[in-house]
Amino acid sequence: MITLGNRRYGNPILLTSDGSIVEGKRIHFHERGYDEKWLQELIRKNPDLLPIPVEIADLFSPLIPIGKEVQTKVGPIDNLFISPRGYLTVVETKLWRNPEAHREVVGQIIDYAKEISQWSYDELDAQVRAYNQKYTTSNIGLLDTFRTKENEPIDEADKPDIMDAITRNLKNSKFLLLIVGDRIRKNVETMADFLNQPQLNFSFSLVEIQLYEINSDLGKLTFIVPQTVIRTREITRAVIRFEGKTDGIIIAPPDGGDDTFFENLAKKVGVELKKFALKIIDDMENLGCRAVWKRSSYVIKFPDPTGSGDLFTLFVVDVNGWVYTYSGWLAGQLQRVFASPETNAIAMEFLEKFTELPQSPSRIQKNKGKLLPGSPGDLGASLGEVHKNYDQLLTTVKSAIEKIRELAEK
């Protein structure tokens, strides 16, 4: 499915300490000498400015830079990123000088995707080493880069699974193709060639970067406003697959949002509980929550209703078949946003109801990717026990969401 972003045309306003306002002025890249090289470096140093987790897909976030001007047989890739779950993002920057730019760059980035899909894990690892040597003065490979960025050890036993997952993503073209430009035109018809490409599983988005200048007491400030203009996205976590010269898009329902996660989960708990883990995501999203993906789990979070961008952690479902929360998560996050004495009561009520779920064992501890009984902080139950008492979990989550919304309205 192609989804158009909501364009915003209002200029940003700076409210000063004395109550006066200063309106920002839209500037164009050529006015200040900004070029595609500048944009590439901006994105490399500040990948979080791209609205990946909010508007596109959590699987590709956070972006870890692993390449700039990466040489391929069909030309250099402007920026290359990978997420902790092993999903690649290919970025092509384009300043729109003529009406043909859309068609040309779409075909170009698809060619890059085809080239990358032929890489082996070792070739990708070599690219990461070359990037690190140039930009971080080290020559560490992909796994050590994950360790550095996540500040989280990788168990030796998990290495083969991680490498296999990345290899599978390369082979299956599970990439995010991202075109970033200064002005994205609305002529969607130029996407027709893209929609007829055969056997491609990637996601695709156009992001417009707007620049504004504001003169303030601090001097001249430049505001960078990213905006998703168009994107293809999964529908009920179905893979969008393009086959031959079909007239449209074929929706092929897979096992789940992250194939590797659900494949491994099925090995641990069976197919039926794997389907239940998928149902949890559907039901939580219907309640307004989001599933945020980690390397071996997904986390159910509720977005702050005030629009701050904060996400309140409710519980985790991991690849070993455990559903758990932690006694300090929700309380601390609510307090940070609302600074209200009511936050503790909301969190305590959620925890008390969560602990009423039949538990086996009642407390769990993560230790090098394994779950062991005995932690005083983590509260959890097996996926099977949660399945038997699912209505109770739904009631617990609904109650917490309702109280958070009431608090946000005060």
Q: What is the mean predicted confidence (pLDDT) over 337-348? A: 86
Check pLDDT > 80 for residue 200: no
Q: What confidence tens digit (pLDDT) does each residue in 114-147 have?
A: 899 999 999 999 999 999 999 988 889 998 888 8
- The pLDDT assigned to 369 comes to 36
pLDDT at 402: 94
Do residue 26 and residue 56 come from a single domain?
yes
Same domain, 300 and 162: no
- Give helix 121-135 / helix 159-171 axis angle, nearest 10°: 100
Judgement on whether residues 381 and 234 belong to the same structural domain of the protein: no
Residue 151 pLDDT? 58
Provide the pLDDT for residue 150: 64
Q: Are residues 389 and 280 both part of a single domain?
A: yes
Q: Please check whether residues 101 and 166 belong to one and the same domain.
A: yes
Compute the average pLDDT of residues 272-279. Answer: 92
Same domain for 125 and 101: yes
Residue 369 and residue 323 share a domain: yes
Strands (E), 34-174: 64-70, 77-82, 88-94
Residue 164 shares a structural domain with residue 284: no
Among 230, 252, 274, give the residue marking a domain's end. Answer: 252
Q: What pLDDT shows up at residue 368? A: 36
pLDDT in tens, 363-394: 434 433 333 333 444 677 889 989 999 999 99
**333 and 264 inside one domain:** yes
Number of Cβ within 10 Å of residue 305's Cβ equals: 16
Say what the pLDDT of residue 70 is.
94
Residue 75's pLDDT is 92
Q: Check whether 163 has a pLDDT greater than 90.
A: no
Q: What confidence score (pLDDT) does residue 76 get?
A: 94
Note the helical H segments in 117-214: 121-135, 142-150, 159-171, 192-195
**What does the alpha-carbon distance between residue 16 and residue 221 come to, in Å, rounded to a whole number?**
13
Cα–Cα distance measured from residue 12 to residue 214, given in angstroms and rounded to the nearest whole number: 9
User: Which residues span the domain enclosing 357?
Assistant: 259-409
What are the tens digits of pLDDT across the range 249-270?
Answer: 322 333 334 567 888 899 889 9
Q: Are β-strands 378-382 and 322-326 bridged in parallel, bridged antiparallel, or unpaired?
A: antiparallel
State the Cα–Cα distance between residues 265 and 269, nearest whole angstrom.
6
Q: Is it the case that residue 28 has pLDDT exceeding 80?
A: no
Average pLDDT over the chain reads: 76
Of the candidate ranges 31-35, 69-73, 232-236, 349-353, the one whose mean pLDDT is the lowest: 232-236
* 247 vs 225 pLDDT, higher one: 225
Q: Which of 233, 252, 271 is the last residue of a domain?
A: 252
Report the percentage of the chain scoring pLDDT > 70: 72
Do 310 and 208 belong together in one domain?
no
Domain final residue pick, 220, 252, 284:
252
Identify whether residues 64 and 205 lie together within a single domain. Answer: yes
Both structure tokens of 163 = 């490498």
**Per-residue pLDDT, 1:** 44
327 by Cβ neighbours in 10 Å (0-12 / 13-18 / 19+) ranks as middle
What's residue 59's pLDDT? 75
3-state class of 291 per DSSP? Answer: strand
Q: State the pLDDT at residue 255.
A: 34
Q: What is the pLDDT of residue 238?
A: 33
Query: How many structural domains is the chain composed of?
Result: 2
Buried b (16+ CB within 10 A) or exposed e, 139-178: ebbbbbbbeeeeeeebeeeeeebbbebbbebbeebbbbbb
Per-residue model confidence (pLDDT) at position 282: 85
DSSP letters, 320-371, are: TSEEEEETTHHHHHHHHHH--THHHHHHHHHHHHHHTS--SSSBEEEETTEE
* Euclidean distance between the first and the last CA atom of the chain, given in angstroms as a whole number: 38
Domain identity same for 245 and 273: no
Most confident of 212-216, 247-251, 351-355: 351-355
**pLDDT for the residue 227:** 77
Distance CA 135, CA 130 (A): 9
